[in-house]
Every structure is written in structure tokens, then in C-alpha cells.
Structure 1
Amino acid sequence: MATNRARVPPGPDGLPLVGHTLQLSRDVFGFYERLHADYGDVVRYEVNGDEGYIVAHPDLVEQVLVTDDAAFVKGDLLQRTLSSALGEGMLLAEGDDWRGQRTTAQPAFYRERVAAYGETMTAFAGDVAEGWTDGAVVDVRPAMSELTLRILGRTLFGLDIRGRESVVRDTAEALRTRTDPSSLTAFLPDWVPAPSVRAYRRAIEDARDLVDDLIAQRRAEREEATATSADEAVSRFAGGDDLLTMLVAAADAGGMDDATLRDNMLTFLFAGHETSALAVTYALFCLGHHPEAQARVHADLDALDAPPTADDVDDLPHLDRAVREAMRLYPPVYTHFREPVRDVTVGDYLIPEGSVVSLPQWLVHRDERWYDDPLAFAPERWVDWDGPEYAYFPFSGGPRHCIGMRFAELEIRLVLGTLLREWRVESLTDRPLDLDAAANTTPTDPVELRLHAR
């Protein structure tokens, strides 16, 4: 008995019934930081009836995501929180359903295909740069959200999303509120008739209607192209070889039902643009506070004859380091959740079946064991950094790493490079940023930049 008790991870005592729910809801980041500082790399806690465990050592993160991946699923917490919006799409699906969906979508994210998207990424970012004016102050987050949504619509869906942004924006805000532990909505079931829950459900229905319209539009385009072509390959992928066409073709061939098609569209629509928008926002914010680092990025960009392309990103080392450092300091997703399907020993501790395992980038990325002066923005640390592989994992890892990682990495660099080639930015928002720990790590207030023409 003593041995078993010794294998239970340490953690603070919680209140009856509610556990540590109140402490978490008041300050998610502070709650995580205090537990990590007081109890170590594996910590037990309880929130809203869920038995939870923070795992915050790179080697143990790798164990959960890679070595013992088969022992973990996304789990009930994410199902309760997100399934009403994203259904059984790729983010939440498990087993053969997940593998089949990922196999269907994977060609849209092959290296050559992603590189071909680069021209659109640069062109659309160029439109934004051209529309800015010297001396103006911009709230950069909504500007980048609109830009990355437009890029995603054109590249992955083959559509012009302009004129439909408000539906996506309203639904993204509803999702943020729904997944923010500081909001009561995050702990309420979908059937509760609270105003915030009703607003969330209305937003989701509007988003579903939008996606259904997009799917119907693509089906009509495919049918029209098929009717005018006898070529089997053209008939199969009529309308293009973008992600939307691949998913529609798979559904029409019986590879997935229409509900799963819609769920995947919703998943890519929301997860696919907001994380990139936040990464660019945080990079601009950081560079706007560090003119010397920004000058090094400008020097790389000035060596190009034109705005950056997919072929140029390997020749922009200071831009790459700035992006990595911003995503280390401000990861667009603050933690990944997993649930063990059996009792699992993680490090020296037993994690029981059915519990919630939190793998917080927020802690690991800011750990002084892996990073000198971890709260400082220091892009040059990446010149010779030799820390553990999973001391940096903004896109998760293992078999279920973000399918859009290559797309996002290229998009972030090309958007940032295109903007900074024309503009110098000055951050007007104080440091550090105040953030919400929702589905994404989002700023609570505007992130303002003053623009200076170069």
C-alpha cells in the first residue's frame, strides 16, 4: 500500500465538490505556474469533477505524445467542450475514423502542395501591407485574423471568403468564450438555457449553415465540370485539388458521411486560421518592442529582390528565429489534453485511466531549465539551442501532431516577412500581454502597433 501511495503524483488539496475549479478560473496561467513550482513536473489536481494531471517535463511530454501514444486518446474533456461545435472531425475523432480522415486530407498538406500556396500567402499579405498608412495605429490581431482567414479560404477551400467573415468571427468568439475557464459558459452543459450558451449554439448553427453552403457550392461546381469532361481524373476532382474538393470527393465516394465532412470543414475553418493569426500577432508585438531584433529581420528581407516566397524562407534565419521565439513565449495553444485508456506510468507516477492529462506548452516553453532568462524575447537563443526536443512543441507532436503544421509555418513566415519588408512596427501595448486561456491563447485587449514606412 505504501508503494502505491508513493506513486500517486503530488498536488494540493482542493475544496469539497469543486476541487480547484475556482483557482483555475481566476487565473489559468498562474494556477499552472504555482502547481509546477510547488509540486514539480507531474502534479495532481481536480477541476469540475475531473481528476487532472499536469505533465511538464519534455521527456514525459514525449512519452505521452509519442512513445506511449497508443495509451492515450483526446478524451472526454475535449468531447464535452468542443464536440457540439466540431463534431467528429479530425481533431476529435479516434482510431480508424481519425486515420481515415487524416489520410484523405493529407495530400492537401504535402510539401509541394504547401509550397504552391506560398504565392497566395504573399500576395494577400501584400494587399494588407499596401493598405496600411504611415503613422497609423492598428489593432493587429483582428487584422491578422481577417488575413489568415482569407488565405485559408483561397488555398484550402478554393473560395473567396470575403463577405462571410462576420459569421466566422462571431463563431470564433463564441468558441473562445465556450472554452475559457474564466467564463461560466465553459462549465455549463449545452442544454442549459443560459444566455451565453444560447448565443454559442446560435453561432454554431450559423457556422454550420455557412459550411453547408460552401459544400453545396463545391458539389455543384464538380457536377458541372463532370458533365463537360470525360476525363476520369478531372471528373473525380472537378473544381481543383484543394482540401475542400478532396473532402467532398471522399464523401461522394462513400469515404465519409456528410456530417463528418461538415465537421472537418468547421475544424479547419476555425483551427486553421486563428492559430496562425495569433502567431503573427505575437511576433509583431515582440518585434515591436525589440527594434534591434526587428532590424536583423529587416536586413534579411532587404537582401531579397522581391517580397519573400516559399523558396526564400530558408534564407531568412532572423525571421525564422523571431517566429520560433514568439511562439515559445506566446504559444497560440497553451496546453494539449490527453486521456489515458488504461492506467499508465508516466515518469515515476501512476496516471489512472480516464483522467485528464494536460501537457502545457505554457510551462515547458518558459522553463529556466531549458531556456536562459525564459521570460525574455531573445531570438538569437535559437542559434545554438540544444535543449530536449519536446521543450518546444507549439504544434503538439507524435502521430497526432497538427496536420497543418507545415502550412502554418510557411504562412506565418511569409505573412510576417511580407509585412515587415514594407513596414517597421512599434508596439504600443504594454508588456507582458494579458491573455485568456481558451481554445487558443488570446489577448484580452487590443494589441496595437504604430506603423512606420520603410
Structure 2
Amino acid sequence: MTSRRTAVGDDAAIERGDGVPPRPLEEYPLPPGPDGYPLVGNTLSVVRDPFAFYDELATHGDVVRYRVAGRTFTALLHPDYVERVLVSEPGRFERYVFADLGFDIGTEGLLMTDGTQWKRQRRLLQPAFTIDRIETYAETMVECAERTADSWIDGSEVALNSEFSELTLRILAKALFDVEVDPATDGEVIARAARAINERVNARNLSTFLPQWVPLPANRRYERTMRAYREQVDALIDRRRSADSSGEADDLLSIMLRASDDRGGTLSETEVRDNLVTFLFAGHETSSLALTYALMLLARHDDVAATLRAELEEVIGDERPTAAHVPELEYADAVLTEAMRLYPPAYILFRKATDDAVIGGYRIPAGTILTLPQFHLHVDDRFYDDPEEFRPERWLDDDRDRPEYAYFPFGGGPRHCIGMRFATLEMTLIVAVLLCRFDFELSSEPDPEPSAAATLQPENDVRVRVRRR
């Protein structure tokens, strides 16, 4: 008798496009994986050291099943499988952001929505993120970077993660709302929210795996902090509306409020607010971390810093950095690319199988949560020579043998990061401003360990001594 569950073709055939007959799902084995404990599965291993846990997973193959806090996960540890999930069949693997645990930084925004609502929002927001539109923010990016540089005293020690968090927040607030944020008020509320979000989903906290309704002190603190954060975003929205009497401003908020398409689609007030809540956190947090790790690595590698400065001198010289310079800064792009390979700020993606599937010859039942770990694939020695080494030159070579999704710091497919171009322009211009003015001497010994929170946070401040050139 043929099983009802037969709508599953061989995954290799799917990738080739062959019309092979489907086989019963039960004929495919479940993926292998590490042994766990009754009830808690592999939760304790994840809490002890999530990075080492993925090294253990890799010993079982490229499709590995495990259980954490009552949920079934399958890690995909090969770029071809990542590409299939993100690009080839995104409709079968929906975004998963732990909403069932109460994780919420904007339930009606791009991050948390799916289906037709997400498609409508993406369509309406995309015009605000074209390269021409983004380049209009270049002057603001450079001005803010210069203000930061002017505030640094020759020979002083600064915490890069704190400095870049404040800098990217100023840039983003100007781009989103056309307002200056006060670090002592606006900035502190937003910084507290960023810390709360990272604490809420830190893989080393057992409370991360408990629902938000459980009356833990951490959960109550998270709710209070996020309430204050939303109120602060509402205040910024009100401040912008009061200042824009003409309704013709070109900051992102104004564009969102005016957005419409030929299908009659618009953004609701809640969708506008929740997207701003998301952008304000994700947009400044990820860029500040990428800059932190890039400058940390440059401080460690004088030869790389010298090569980068030579390029900046050749391309920019005594001029002020502009968007027009950026396409010529190939080595600067390679430095940032390599930094995000070693320290991807958004270091892991999650998807949920909406249908039964077969990946790598293994059965993936509907409802399985898939993990796509950039931090692991980015240093896989099958795809990178000397994977732990900081070598920007590797990105200047035409390595056609490396699978495309051996590197995906901005995700991929329809749900790739909408702010990728903004972040790339911002980071390149900031590095150009700072490297032309300063030498950096790393004070943190050894390099701070990364923490598996919502983003790849350093466990401790990344401190450098700045020397004016």
C-alpha cells in the first residue's frame, strides 16, 4: 500500500530539475545527530557553548538533527542546502524568529511578517532602498563619522563597540527621521532596548528557551524595556511629523508614510511604527558590530591597514570621502567582507519547513526548524584556505570554485537584508574617514570572545588606543 505522504522527490533530482517519481517520505531516514538527554534533548550543550556545539554537529554530516527545549531543529552545514532553502524554494521554508517564545521587536514589520503582508511591505519599502536613494545619505554618514573622529583625543583609549553603536545610531536616526538623537535620552533608551533584545535571545541563558509569559524577572525587564523603546520610537515619529509641515521630506519615515503602489497598497500606522522599531535596532546594531570587528582586525594586522591606507590615498587623496569614491575602494570592500566572514553580526538564520521535504537524502518533516549558521559555514575549510586567518586578499581573487552561499552575512533570496546597500556604503565611508586620521593599537588582550545573542556581540568591550596621523 502506498503511503499518503508521497509528495516528496529526491532532493538531488529537485536541484537538477529531473522529473523523478516521488518516493514515500518514510523511505528516507531522519538526519543523524548527537545524543541528548530525556526531555531537554541537547539544550544543555547549547547553553554551555553554542559555538562548540556546532563543531560537534558537523561531525555528523551536513544535515544534522537535534532537539532544544522541546523543539526539533536540523542544521544545514553545506552552502548548496542553504541556497536551496533561501533562494530556490523559499516558499517551502518560512522565516522563523521565535515568535512563539514571545520574541518581538515589531510584529507587523518586515522581520516578523510572512506571506502577502510581507510581500506588500517589501514592495512598498524597496524604492526607499535603491542605490540612488541610499547615496543621498552619504554626506550624513561622512559628517557623523567626522564628528566622532573630532571627539577622539590623541592617545586616548576608546571602546569601539560603544563608539560605533552611538555613531551608527546617529546616522540611522538622521536617515530614518531626519532628527538628531540625544545620546543621554533617545540613545540610552535605544541602547537599553538593544541590550534587552540581546539578553532575551542569548543562547547561553536558559530563560531564552522559555515563553515570554513565564513570570521571570528577565521577562518582566524585557517587557518594560521594549515598551519604553516603542514609546521612544513613537515620540521620534511625532517629532518628525511636527517638523514636516509640507509633507515633502525625504527621510525614510516620510517615504514610508507616503508609500503606495499601483495595487492600492499602503502601510498602516502600526506597520510604519514596527518597521522603524526593527530598522532602528537591526540597522545600527549590525553595522556597529561589523565596524567594531573590522577595526579590531585592522589594529591586529598592520600590513592590511597599510595596504588599505595606500588605497585610500590613491582613490581619495586629500578629498573628502563621497559615495562616488566607494566603487573604487576594492580593498576596503575586501577588508569589510573578510571581517564579516570571520565575525558575521547576524550570525545564524532560522527557517521553518512548511511542507515535508528531503534534504541531503534525509527526511525533514513539516514543522522542523532549520538552522543556517553563517558563523560556521564562513570558516569551513572545505571552502576557504586558512579559514581562521584574516586575509582580505582572498576576496580579490576570482575563486569560482567556492559555492556562493559559503558566505551570506546579509542572508539571501527574497528575504535578503533590505538595508544591505545602506550598511555597505555606511561602513565603507566610516572606515575611510577613520583610517585616514588614525592609527589603532588594540588594548584588548586577547581579542574579546563573541557572544551568541541576537547579534554576535563581543563579551567585553573592544578597546583600542587611537593615534592621530
Displacement of 1:190 after TM fit?
A: 1.7
Q: Name the residue aligned to 2:128.
A: 108
Following the alignment from structure 1 to structure 2, what is the Cα–Cα distance between the partners of residues 348 and 286? 40
The corresponding residue for 2:10 is none
Aligned residues: 438
Question: Contact between 2:101 and 2:210, CA under 8 Å: does it hold in 1?
Answer: no
Cα displacement (A) at 1:254:
7.6
In the alignment, is residue 420 of structure 1 matched against residue 435 of structure 2?
Answer: yes
Q: Secondary structure at the match of 1:374?
A: coil
Mapping of residues 59-208 of structure 1, within 5 Å: 59-75=80-96, 77-81=97-101, 83-162=103-182, 163-208=185-230
Q: Provide the C-alpha distance between the structure 2 equivalents of 1:84 and 1:433, rounded to a whole number of angstroms.
A: 28
SS of the residue corresponding to residue 86 of structure 1 reads coil
Residue type matched to 2:448 in 1? L
For the pair 1:46 / 2:59, whether they are aligned, the reply is no
Letter in 1 for 2:75: I
RMSD in angstroms over aligned alpha carbons? 1.8
1:293 corresponds to: 304
Tell me which residue corresponds to 2:355.
342
Within 5 Å, which residues of 2 pair with 1:229-248? 238-248=247-257
Counterparts in 2 of 1:241 and 1:17: CA distance versus 1, 3 Å: same
Give the deviation of 1:6 after TM superposition. 5.0
Which amino acid is 1:214 matched to? L
Partner residue, 2:11: none
1: distance between equivalents of 2:214 and 2:98?
A: 18
The answer for the alignment partner of 1:213 in structure 2 is 235
Residue 46 of structure 1, CA deviation: 0.3
AA paired with 1:125?
A
Q: Which deviations, in whole Å up to 9, do the C-alpha atoms of 1:293-336 show, x marking residues without a partner?
A: 00011111122222321111122222111111100000001110
Q: Is the 8 A contact 1:10 1:39 kept in 2?
A: yes
Question: How far is the alpha carbon of 1:420 from its aligned partner?
Answer: 0.7
- Structure 1 equivalent of residue 49 of structure 2: 27
Instruction: Report if aligned partners of 1:19, 1:45 keep a CA contact under 8 Å in 2.
Output: yes
Q: Deviations over 1:69-95 (max 9, x none)?
A: 1101113x5323564332121011101
Q: Cα–Cα, structure 1 residues 127 and 82, in superposed 2: closer, same or farther, change >3 Å?
A: farther
Query: Deviation of residue 129 (structure 1)?
Result: 1.0
- Structure 1 unaligned spans of 5+: 226-237
Measured after TM superposition, the shift of residue 107 of structure 1 is: 1.6
Distance 2:270 2:257 in 1: 11
Q: Post-superposition shift, 1:370?
A: 0.8
Q: Equivalent residue for 1:308?
A: 321
Q: What are the equivalent positions in structure 2 for 1:351-362 lying under 5 Å apart?
A: 351-362=364-375
Please give the alpha-carbon distance, in whole angstroms, between the structure 2 residues aligned to 1:345 and 1:279.
35
Residue 409 of structure 2, aligned match among 369, 388, 394: 394
The one-letter code of the counterpart of 2:70 is G
Decide whether the 8 Å contact of 1:81 with 1:178 is kept in 2.
no
What is the CA–CA distance in structure 1 between the aligned matches of 2:101 and 2:372, rounded to whole Å? 17
1:46 partner SS = strand
| Bigger mean CA deviation after superposition, 417-426 or 154-163 | 154-163
What are the Cα deviations for residues 27-72 of structure 1, in whole angstroms up to 9, with x where unaligned? 1111112111x11111100001110010011111100000011101
Distance (whole Å) between structure 1 residues aligned to residue 104 and residue 347 of structure 2? 22
In the TM superposition, residue 216 of structure 1 has moved relative to its aligned partner by 2.2
Alignment-derived partner of residue 406 in structure 1: 421
Shift of 1:14: 1.1
Maintained 8 Å contact 2:448/2:461: no
Alpha-carbon displacement from aligned partner over 1:354-386 (angstroms, at most 9, x marks no partner): 111000001110000111110111111112133
Q: Structure 2: which 5+ runs fail to align?
A: 4-23
d(CA) in 2 for partners of 1:157, 1:136: 33
CA contact (8 A) 1:436 1:442 kept: yes
Equivalent residues of 1:215, 1:248 under 8 A apart:
no
TM-score by length of 1: 0.93
Say which of 289, 306, 313 aligns to 1:278: 289
Farther-moved stretch of structure 1 (184-193 vs 51-60): 184-193
Aligned to 2:267: 256
Q: Deviations over 1:162-216 (max 9, x none)?
A: 2410000000000000010111331232222221111111110001111111222
Q: Which runs of 4+ in 1 moved over 6 A?
A: none
Q: Secondary structure at the match of 1:336?
A: strand
Letter in 2 for 1:242: D
Q: Give the drift of 1:5.
A: 6.3
Moved more, 1-10 or 196-205: 1-10
Q: Structure 2 CA distance, aligned partners of 1:23 and 1:391?
A: 25
